[in-house]
Amino acid sequence: SDQLFAQKETARFSGKIYFPESFRRAFLHPIYLLFLVTLLAFPVTGWAGTRDATPPQRIVSLSPGITEILFAIGAGDRVVGVTDFCNYPEKAKSLPKVGGLLNPSYETLITLRPDLIIHQPNKHKIKNFVDKLSIRNLPISMLSFDEIFSSIKAIGIAVHSEVEADRLIQSMRKKIDFHKKRLAGVSQKSVLLILGISNDTMRELYGVGPKTFLGEMLALAGGKNILSGTQAQYPKVSKEFIIHESPEVIIEIGRTDILTEKSSVKRRKGWQKFSTIRAVKNNDIHIIGADYILIPGPRLVNILPHFVKAIHPEIISNDSVANKSTENARP
């Protein structure tokens, strides 16, 4: 999910805070003086989850998934700021950047004069900041498909694009239902779903838990997650555990710049030393790369046929999904 991008952000912004946490310190900070000068430029509108009479015209998105939703429902022309990681669609690349996911630049946020900031609810610093400035904000959570759909609905209401939001939800549900029907009655296969977030051959392995949108997608594709007993979203997985569970299928997912053809060959070769694992024995190891695969957004359902092909190739063998050592899913 978008939280995964935060790993890079932690190293990048470690120890650097753009805006003081204490309100008293903030009052003495030069940035607060800038706020006083520009205060009248901020419309004090409704709070999160409400629909104001006037549609917001200056929206700031604080996650890639949120940005994609805004553009998908036709509100992209009103987005005035995004994070450094918001690079889709193409128009988002040229928008002003407010910094990273964990520590955005509050100076930049102020100068953009937003009338709506949409962010994730676990970013407490951001929530406290926008609350103090009385900027309307919409906190949304997208850890599961239900939450993704609810978030699309909430964003649609907030930006006065309800019809477009409903249309997007229906389109995504239609794709999901299509695969549900074709997999009806098919037996599940045990699967290990791994995050490909490093090219280090000695890397630690992180799996995908069932209570995530990726875990849900695995189940929709006819897979039985061998990590079904964990409450963690992305737990560290030992090789001993994998050997013991011996999954029928192993799928590694990640960005295309990490999961290259060359990298995929090395990854498969690395598994060969564990020949007792059924997936290794039957050469059922799959590498799926897509730059949006870790982003909870509208394009996520495009990954579903690749999961189905990896787990139940007999179901999707005649489809247009590429049959390569590394499958690069299209937007």
- pLDDT tens figures, 156-192: 999 999 999 999 999 999 999 999 999 999 999 999 9
Q: Say whether both 159 and 242 belong to one domain.
A: no
In terms of domains, do 317 and 227 share one? yes
* Phi, psi dihedral angles at 311 (to 5 degrees): -90, -40
Residue type, 57: Q
Residues 52 and 150 in one domain: yes
Rg for the chain, CA atoms, rounded: 22
CATH number for the domain including 155? 3.40.50.1980
CA angle 25, 29, 35 (to 5 degrees): 115
Q: Is 92 inside a domain boundary?
A: yes
Count of domains forming the chain: 2
> Domain boundary at 116, 141, 168, which?
168
Instruction: Let me know whether 157 and 200 are in one domain.
Output: no
One domain, residues 38 and 163: yes
pTM for this entry: 0.80
Strand order in the sheet with 189-195: 223-225, 189-195, 249-254, 285-289, 326-328
Tell the residue number behind the tokens 């599940």, with chain if given.
188
Q: Are residues 207 and 312 in the same domain?
A: yes
Query: Quick one: 10 and 154 in the same domain?
Result: yes
In a domain, 61, yes or no: yes
| Residue 36: inside a domain | yes
Residue 66 lies in a domain: yes
- Domain hosting 215: range is 185-328
Query: Is there a contact between 284 and 248 (Cβ–Cβ < 8 Å)?
Result: yes
Same domain, 190 and 292: yes
Task: Judge if the upstream peptide bond of residue 89 is cis by omega within 30 degrees of 0.
Answer: yes
Span 37-48, pLDDT tens digits? 333 233 333 344
End residue of a domain, out of 168, 194, 220? 168
Q: What is the mean pLDDT of residues 77-93?
A: 97
Whether residue 176 lies inside any domain: the answer is no
**Residues 82, 225 within the same domain:** no
> Which residues, in sequence order, are CB contacts of 330 under 8 Å at separation 6+?
290, 302
Write the single-letter amino acid at 75: A
Contact (CB, 8 A) for 64 and 86:
yes
pLDDT, tens digit (0-9, with 9 covering 90-100), for 252-298: 999 998 898 888 898 999 999 999 999 999 999 999 999 999 999 99
Domain match, 161 and 189 both: no
Q: With bands split at pLDDT 50, 70 and 90, how would you rate the model's confidence at 331?
A: low
* Residue 262 falls inside a structural domain: yes
Domain boundary among 168, 196, 229: 168
